Amino acid sequence: MNQPLQHITVLLDEAVTALLGGEETSPAGQWVDATFGRGGHSRLILQRLGPDGRLVAFDKDPEAIAEAARITDPRFSIRHEGFRHLDELPAGSCAGVLMDLGVSSPQIDSPERGFSFRFEGPLDMRMDTTRGQSVAEWLADAEVHQIAEVIRDYGEERFAGPIAKAIVAWRTDKGPLTTTAELANLVAGAVRTREAGQHPATRTFQAFRIFINAELEELQQALAGALKVLQPGGRLAVISFHSLEDRIVKQFIAQHSKEVYDRRAPFAAPQPMRLKALERIKPSAAEVAANPRSRSAVMRVAERTEVPA
């Protein structure tokens, strides 16, 4: 009998403590879990919220929505859409926003989702399987320069050119790629060297997943939305798992953590900073030992400093 796929929430206590502030017990107000996943953070937030607290979650994965349906707490609600829709909440209405940018273990370990080179499955990789184009569908028509650009920009893969050419050559000779195994084997043949302990297809699979789900663009929209909906003193906590995401989060917090002067009006008062950077947290050695997938995680925490416009 197959065991259900398990997901271990990364930085569980640290994230919820950072979000809620770690001081007030049973806080009220509206809070947001912008990436519900399998609900680890949401469930702990609900345990710590007071009776007047509310939690709104977002996720575009139908499997996550099904998992959320198991939560019967009347203080909880979920929206079946990506966190780029955060800005649809009223301005200044939220006491805290949490974003966990990781892919859940059930997504990675489900062969039918096509996220992993470790399992034979359809070459899909969509977070929301009810809409949009799969990786296989995109690769069936994409030009070699488009494929190379995606692999280089989103996977930071130095063999992007040879991999893209190999994909197009396969397509010309055998027809479109349709499975994860086909792509993984093709990439392994095109990549001449690789870091110890890393599969040659790691960066390419990451690149295609990020691209097909517009993950970085959605993250930028979500951060802007969080800035709008947070009330003064509200917390923003974001857990990233690779440098592309973390760079966006770091730069966003830095950008809004300083006063802005209008060069066209040098004598005007500067716009006050809108965020205050609080801390950067990594998983403990014990957490990494218990859950190796947490080793690349980094959480950045900031606080809203002014009344939203």
Question: Would you list the domain boundaries of the chain?
Answer: 12-105+215-304, 128-212
d(CA 41, CA 35): 9
Position 260 scores a pLDDT of 58
Distance CA(11)–CA(74), nearest Å, equals 26
The predicted structure's pLDDT at residue 155? 94
Q: How many CB atoms lie within 10 A of CB 90?
A: 11
Positive or negative, the CA dihedral 37, 247, 196, 149 is positive
Radius of gyration, CA atoms only, the chain: 21
Given the candidates 3.40.50.150, 2.30.30.30, 1.10.1050.10, 1.10.3470.10, the CATH classification of the domain at 12-105+215-304 is 3.40.50.150
Residue 96 makes CB contacts below 8 A (sequence gap 6+) with 19, 20, 21, 29, 31, 32, 230, 234, 235, 236, 237
Whole-number pLDDT of residue 308: 45
Alpha-carbon distance values, 274 to 100, 228, 238 (Å): 22, 10, 17
Give the separation between CA 200 and CA 186, rounded to whole angstroms. 10
Beta bridge partners of 230: 94
Which residues does the chain have with pLDDT short of 50? Answer: 1-5, 308-309
CB atoms within 10 A of CB 27: 18
- Provide the terminal-to-terminal Cα distance of the chain, rounded to the nearest Å: 55
Stated pTM of the model? 0.89
Interacting residues of 74 by C-beta distance below 8 A, sequence separation 6+: none
| Residue 175: C-alpha distances to residues 11, 120, 140, 187 (Å) | 43, 18, 8, 16
| Burial class of residue 123 in the structure, from the number of CB atoms within 10 Å of its CB (0-12 exposed, 13-18 middle, 19+ buried) | buried
Q: List the structure tokens of 132.
A: 């949009």
pLDDT in tens, 144-194: 999 999 999 999 999 999 999 999 999 999 999 999 999 999 999 998 777
**Residue 307: per-residue pLDDT:** 57
For residue range 24-62, list pLDDT tens digits in order: 677 899 999 999 998 999 999 999 999 999 999 999 999
Q: In sequence order, which residues have a C-beta less than 8 Å from that of residue 215 and are 6 or more positions away?
A: 101, 209, 245
CATH of domain 128-212: 1.10.150.170
CB-based contacts of 256: which residues, under 8 Å, 6+ apart?
227, 273, 274, 275, 302
Write the Ramachandran bin of 57: left for phi over 0, alpha for psi from -120 to 50, otherwise beta.
beta
Q: Where are the beta strands (DSSP E) in the chain?
A: 29-33, 53-59, 76-80, 94-100, 230-240, 275-281, 298-304
